[in-house]
């Protein structure tokens, strides 16, 4: 029997305690066991298994093609690679179209992956769904502002809350989602002033992405943070490394050495 004390995984109560203490919440995405282990040992509080894997792992232009099976496969891998961070799995496009199907799909995610929470995109229309999930013991993170699963309905990617109509809607959505039982709310591409206002109006933490520095926490796509991309990251993401260049250099050296060390490889002599 190991003498080591098992690592205690963070819970939504721990996340709430961070908010009460005024300590910022650090969150990153991960899509496999190795990345999960790396970001966790660096100290992140939460890991999001984001449907952004459709863009950065599977090569899709949007998150819409990502399936429930995709999310379950990657979330289970992240679970195997982590032991401390609270894990949140995105519910992909089409998996929460009504409270009944949302509950069935979220139960499947929880059972088959072992994550601690799910994330649901959408505002007032998602209130009955979140109430249903929470009522059945599932922790839910909400997500408003820019919701990538609605990119076509919204007409593209842009900052939200710039006019009073949009700002009023976001304020109403945030209050309603907190009342529905969400333990946190992602604010994506919300104007910084409005994101700060919403953060101060809630007791649950806001997790910003492209929404300024005054949210209770921050989430980024890990590939954007470490420069593991083949195209430029979003304007709000400041890469702290250039992993893509390291990979290209290492592979280039490998290819050159492989070809130089082996030289011409003779063809087998044909029997005459």
Comparing 8-12, 24-28, 212-216, 255-259, the range with the smallest average pLDDT is 255-259
Residues with active-site annotation: 188
- Domains of the chain (ranges, CATH numbers): 12-262 (3.20.20.60)
Strand extents, DSSP E, the chain: 25-29, 46-49, 86-90, 117-121, 139-145, 184-188, 206-209, 217-220
Which of 159, 161, 180 has its CA nearest to residue 170? 161
Q: How many CB atoms lie within 10 A of CB 35?
A: 21
Q: Which residues of 208-236 are buried (b: 16+ CB within 10 A; e: fewer)?
A: bbbbbeebbbbbbbbbbbbbbbeeebeee
Question: Is 111 part of any known ligand binding site?
Answer: no
pLDDT in tens, 122-174: 999 999 999 999 999 999 999 999 999 999 988 899 999 999 999 999 999 99
Is 8 annotated as a binding-site member? no
Q: Report residue 6's pLDDT band, with 50, 70 and 90 as the boundaries.
A: low
Q: Going by DSSP bridges, is the β-strand pair 117-121/86-90 parallel, antiparallel, or unpaired?
A: parallel
Q: Give the span between the Cα atoms of 205 and 200, in whole angstroms.
A: 9
Rg from Cα positions in the chain: 21
Confidence of residue 1 (pLDDT cuts 50, 70, 90): very low
Q: Which two tokens stand for residue 74?
A: 């990657």
Query: What residues contact 80, with CB distance under 8 A and at least 6 apart?
Result: 33, 36
Residue 223 binned pLDDT confidence (cut-offs 50, 70, 90) = very high
Tokens of 183: 């333990």
Determine phi and psi for 49, rounding to 5 degrees: -85, 90
**Encoded tokens for 106:** 């979220």
CA angle 219, 211, 99 (to 5 degrees): 65
Q: How high does pLDDT run on average in the chain?
A: 94
Residue 235: pLDDT over 90: no
User: pLDDT digit string (tens) for 93-122?
Assistant: 999 999 999 999 999 999 999 999 999 999
Q: Are 139 and 168 in contact (CB under 8 A)?
A: no
Range from 106-120, 203-217, 222-236 carrying the lowest mean pLDDT: 222-236
Q: Is 101 annotated as contributing to ligand binding? A: no
Q: Which of 13-22, 49-58, 88-97, 234-243 has the lowest mean pLDDT?
A: 234-243
The answer to the question of whether 51 is labelled as a binding residue is: yes
> Does 90 carry a binding-site annotation?
yes
């Amino acid at each position: 029997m190991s003498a080591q004390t098992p690592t205690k995984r963070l819970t939504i109560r721990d996340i709430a305690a961070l908010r009460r203490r005024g300590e910022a919440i650090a969150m990153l995405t991960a899509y496999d066991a190795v990345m999960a282990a790396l970001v966790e040992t660096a100290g992140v509080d939460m890991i999001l298994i984001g449907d952004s894997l459709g863009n950065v792992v599977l090569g899709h232009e949007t998150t819409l093609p990502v399936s429930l099976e995709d999310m379950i496969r990657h979330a289970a891998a992240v679970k195997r690679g982590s032991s401390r961070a609270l894990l949140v799995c995105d519910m992909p496009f089409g998996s929460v179209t009504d409270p009944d199907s949302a509950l069935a799909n979220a139960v499947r995610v929880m059972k088959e992956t072992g994550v601690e929470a799910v994330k649901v995109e959408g505002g007032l229309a998602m209130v009955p769904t979140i109430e249903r999930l929470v009522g059945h013991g599932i922790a839910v993170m909400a997500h408003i502002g820019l919701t990538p699963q609605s990119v076509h309905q919204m007409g593209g990617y842009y900052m939200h809350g710039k006019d009073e109509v949009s700002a009023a809607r976001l304020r109403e959505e945030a209050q309603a989602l907190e009342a529905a039982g969400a333990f946190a709310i992602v604010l994506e591409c919300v104007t910084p002033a409005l994101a700060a206002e919403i953060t101060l109006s809630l007791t649950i933490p806001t997790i910003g992405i492209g929404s300024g520095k005054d949210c209770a926490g921050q989430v980024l796509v890990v590939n954007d943070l470490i420069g593991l991309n083949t195209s430029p990251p979003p304007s709000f993401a400041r890469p702290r490394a250039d992993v893509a260049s390291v990979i290209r250099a290492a592979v280039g050296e490998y290819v050159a050495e492989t070809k130089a060390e082996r030289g011409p490889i003779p063809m087998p002599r044909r029997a005459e």
